[in-house]
Amino acid sequence: MDNSRRKFLKIAGISAVATVGAPAALNLLTGNAHASSGHGAPQAAAPAAHGAPAAHGEAPTGKRYGMVIDARKFHANPGLAEKCIEACHTNYNVPDFGNKKDEIKWLWKMPFANAFPEHSHYKKDHTVHSMDFLVTCNHCDKPPCVRACPTKATFKNKDGIVMMDFHRCIGCRFCMAACPYGARSFNWRDPRGSENGVPFIKKLNHDFPTRMRGVVEKCSFCALRLAEGKLPLCVEATGDTGAMFFGDLNDPHSDVSKVLQSKFTIQRKPALGTTPSVFYII
Ligand code: SF4
Ligand code: SF4
Ligand code: SF4
């Protein structure tokens, strides 16, 4: 076992708190969806019921949302990744503190070697290795961040989305230590502030709450949009390029399932056992 895997397994065992569900009804594409808003939490309702993950070998029940990212389509469409990031970060009031150290990211780019370090890089394919990969929270089916959180500020809802309740977050950052993908960001500074007269949030979206200093944030899989029957903003931003697919992984007839059934895909760090819900065509 290498050092990084040993460290990950150790951190992931910080807490044995079970994965929890949430009452928000997110029925994408059914047209009768609605979302409840417990605890004044903007990103999601507060967790209320313990989830019951299917035992190994059992047929999956309920929804499990997932995403497929076709990296070659992004490579063939320069600027498309930036368009997706802009759509996400603008809508969710993601602050830009102007430096890497304090960076808050819900969706960002990463070279192949960093995104998929467990893959062999011997005599590498130069196209793949020159490509940037869009990465985000993997909404893991077995999320170590959820197990590590002492306040249930992060939880898995009944549709398989790993959510944040910003009001419950005490900023302990256990979830950040537990996530092996760097998918969570911590607000070291006040996102509502400014520097030299330039606000950290350039264009405020009044329909989504801003966060406070000391709170962790990350991609929500656009859960509130799903509740309205809409696709995630990043997926929508790809238009008809076929660069991203989204849907219920447990529905064999969903677009995302059909793509997975017909294309060779990989996940990030699958050996860690987190079961990511984001897949890549390379
Ligand atoms: S990618 Fe990280 S933050 Fe997202 S669910 Fe997995 S462990 Fe949690
Ligand atoms: S920083 Fe917030 S979400 Fe993360 S483990 Fe602590 S309380 Fe939970
Ligand atoms: S799914 Fe939504 S929140 Fe997540 S990266 Fe895409 S646009 Fe951002």
Provide Rg for the chain, Cα atoms.
18
Ligand nearest to the CA of 161: 1
Residue 213's pLDDT is: 98
Q: Is 69 helix (H, G, I), strand (E, B) or coil?
A: strand
CA-to-CA separations, 244 to 183, 220, 223, 235, in angstroms, rounded:
19, 16, 17, 6
Q: How far apart are CA 208 and CA 106, in angstroms?
A: 14
Between residues 51 and 151, which one has the greater pLDDT? Answer: 151
Contact of 248 with 257, CB cutoff 8 Å: yes
Atom 5 in ligand 3: which residue has the minimum CA distance? Answer: 107
Q: How far apart are CA 275 and CA 268, in angstroms?
A: 9
Q: Is 200 helix (H, G, I), strand (E, B) or coil?
A: coil
Atom 7 in ligand 2: which residue has the minimum CA distance? Answer: 169
Residue 130's pLDDT is: 86
Structure tokens given for 206? 């009044």
* Average pLDDT of the chain to the nearest whole number: 84
Fold designation for 3-53+62-281: Alpha-Beta Plaits (3.30.70)
Structural domain boundaries in the chain = 3-53+62-281
CA-to-CA separations, 26 to 58, 74, 161, 247, 256, in angstroms, rounded:
23, 29, 10, 12, 17
Q: How far apart are CA 43 and CA 129, in angstroms?
A: 35
Q: How much distance in Å is there from the Cα of 41 to the middle of ligand 1?
A: 19
User: Per this entry, what is the length of the chain?
Assistant: 282
Contact of 96 with 200, CB cutoff 8 Å: yes
Q: How much distance in Å is there from the Cα of 16 to the middle of ligand 2?
A: 15
Q: What confidence tier does 125 reach under pLDDT thresholds 50, 70, 90?
A: confident
Q: What is the distance, to the nearest Å, from the Cα of residue 85 to the centroid of all Cα atoms in its chain?
A: 13
The ligand 3 atom at the shortest distance from the C-alpha of residue 136 is 5
Which among 20, 137, 152, 164 is the best mutation to test ligand 1's pocket, defined by most ligand atoms within 8 Å of the CB? 137
Q: How far apart are CA 147 and CA 14, in angstroms?
A: 8
The ligand 2 atom at the shortest distance from the C-alpha of residue 173 is 1
Q: How many CB atoms lie within 10 A of CB 159?
A: 24
Q: What confidence tier does 120 reach under pLDDT thresholds 50, 70, 90?
A: confident
